[in-house]
Structure 1
């Protein structure tokens, strides 16, 4: 039979073998010696980076992508007959978006064109009447000259007859006849001059009628131009390159001027960022400084921008109910100022195409005197040596 084997007694939880304790003590002593040195070096490096770079980087996450969205609507009352774009479709400036029924406006245009043609005919008639009246004036002038010549002849006959009556070679009856002829000639001159005056006054009336016809033509031409413009309003086109969206128009819908039908949102480099920085962050900020922009929806891409301009007032002043601090109880609140950041050119077009107005971003402005200096930790360390 085999003899029973005696099991060794188990070690207590607080006990450890000498073999385990020996390697632990030198490691603990090494960590106690090296750890403070590593922490000191890390603190020195971090402090150096902050003093040279970090304190000049101004950051905010109260920033959003913005764009000048064009909200389009009709300029005339009409029915929607066609919608040429789908939701979220890229469009170019000038592309047709919505077509309205143009039949009524085309009829108005044709009527205005007919009115313009009528005024052209009236002007031509007035000009012909002026030319005719000028000929009548010339004829009346000739009548005046003829009457004056007759007056001169009659006056000469009267003088000769009077001299002959005095010498006894002519009768008194002949003298009376020549005097009567002279008076008739004088009256004919007066009548011819009056007729000439009437003809000249008629010329002024006709000239005024011509000016009136020309004024009506100008009015008719303006009405035709307005009719052409109204007819062009039946085609709603994209004013800029962008993406069509927020479409509210439906086929057959009767729309009124000012009604919102569709919107075109800009895309790519035409977008910008509005960052609301605290007033305490604006001390060193000025236009032209570089900005790194990180979009929450595109975390793997860093966009580059520049400070463009500052809002003329804090955001609270443009709110519906601006604050009134002249009250008994006052608590100072740090205000924020909207700052416009413009994206730089030459960036990744694919990444820019993913931007949309309203996206949240994080904007970091470099306010250093040399904004082109490296921002990294090792660059700050190298500057020490």
Structure 2
């Protein structure tokens, strides 16, 4: 009787094992073989290193470590007195060049009046020349017939030559006055170039003044603060890091044997070590063009020494979806387990 019971229990155990094995086989054939998984995965984010664009002493630290900030919030204020003075100086340079242009414009109007006067003098000289020419011709005819004395003819000849000389002088004066306009044109171009340079200097001075206020480029959480009030920082000095409050992603390192059917767009399920009972949703965004070892500082060189084959891993970028991509339970650097559903894109 006891042997019969033992045989029955053994048969039941074998039957249960067979059913379980068959069930697992069915599950693997229809599901598990399309669900590659890896625990070599970590949360990532586009962490921004906030640096100073200009040098100066730190006047105010507006945030502390782990503080939540919004886009545009003040993070660090540098001492701006030197930059305020630079703006005032650049504004004075612009005003000086504008005044120079105004002076050139006024001089141009005066020169146009001078040219008009020279033109009038030239017309008067031409009229005198015409009169003396007629007198000289007439007295020459009269002197040849002894109607007038030679002295009168000589006076007419002298007046004629004097009128010719005066006309030449007034014509030269008019030419000089007109050429002066070209000099003013050159001075105006030079003043405009200097004004452009001064305006560029003013714009740069204003930019440098704005750079003394270091503000958050996006909403996030402050971390790794290296700034202290009163310390001097130079251009490019990293002051703190800013972790975005949204847009987290996963870098999952899959084995090379798991990548045959993996492609962008496939759904992914993420379980974080920090909260094992919750599953986060995402999808495959891209696959790395090379294995992780090829991007290391010292890539492995298998052409020398004894060769031991090591399964290579390829980084796969997983983008979290919806509220799962928000900074909260998930934080950059946390370990997660990623499972990709290759059936979602088959």
Give the structure-2-normalised TM-score: 0.93
Separation in 2, partners of 1:137, 1:324: 86
| Structure 1 residue 234 corresponds to structure 2 residue 212 | yes
Change in 2 beyond 3 A, CA 1:110/1:370? closer
Matched residue, 2:240 = 262
Matched residue, 1:19 = none
1:24-47 deviation digits (Å, cap 9, x = unpaired): 444323212222222222111111
Match of 2:29 among 23, 46, 51: 51
Shift of 1:164: 2.2
| Structure 1 residue 178 corresponds to structure 2 residue 156 | yes
Point out the more displaced range, 167-176 or 272-281: 167-176
Shift of 1:346: 4.9
Separation in 2, partners of 1:310, 1:144: 87
Matched residue, 2:273 = 296
Matched residue, 2:42 = 64
Quick check: 2:266–2:345 contact (8 Å CA) kept in 1?
Answer: no
Where does the alignment leave 5 or more consecutive residues of structure 2 unmatched?
A: none
Q: What CA RMSD, in Å, does the superposition of the two structures yield over aligned residues?
A: 2.0
Quick check: 1:267–1:356 contact (8 Å CA) kept in 2?
Answer: no
Matched residue, 1:275 = 252
Matched residue, 1:376 = none
Matched residue, 2:284 = 307
| Structure 1 residue 156 corresponds to structure 2 residue 123 | no
Shift of 1:369: 5.5
Match of 1:116 among 69, 77, 94: 94
Shift of 1:284: 0.9
Secondary structure of 2:322 counterpart: coil
1:198-224 deviation digits (Å, cap 9, x = unpaired): 112221112211222222221121111
Quick check: 1:267–1:355 contact (8 Å CA) kept in 2?
Answer: no
Separation in 2, partners of 1:258, 1:232: 16
Where does the alignment leave 5 or more consecutive residues of structure 1 unmatched?
A: 1-21, 372-385
Matched residue, 1:193 = 171
Matched residue, 1:367 = 342
Shift of 1:237: 1.0
Matched residue, 1:358 = 333
Change in 2 beyond 3 A, CA 1:330/1:166? farther
Matches within 5 A, 1:110-149: 110-149=88-127
| Structure 1 residue 209 corresponds to structure 2 residue 187 | yes
Secondary structure of 1:277 counterpart: strand
1:80-136 deviation digits (Å, cap 9, x = unpaired): 222111210111111111111111221221122122222221221121112211221
Number of aligned residue pairs: 346
Match of 2:225 among 233, 244, 247: 247
Matches within 5 A, 1:11-50: 22=1, 24-50=2-28
Point out the more displaced range, 226-235 or 30-39: 30-39
Shift of 1:325: 4.0
Give the structure-1-normalised TM-score: 0.84
Point out the more displaced range, 158-167 or 56-65: 158-167
Separation in 2, partners of 1:91, 1:36: 63
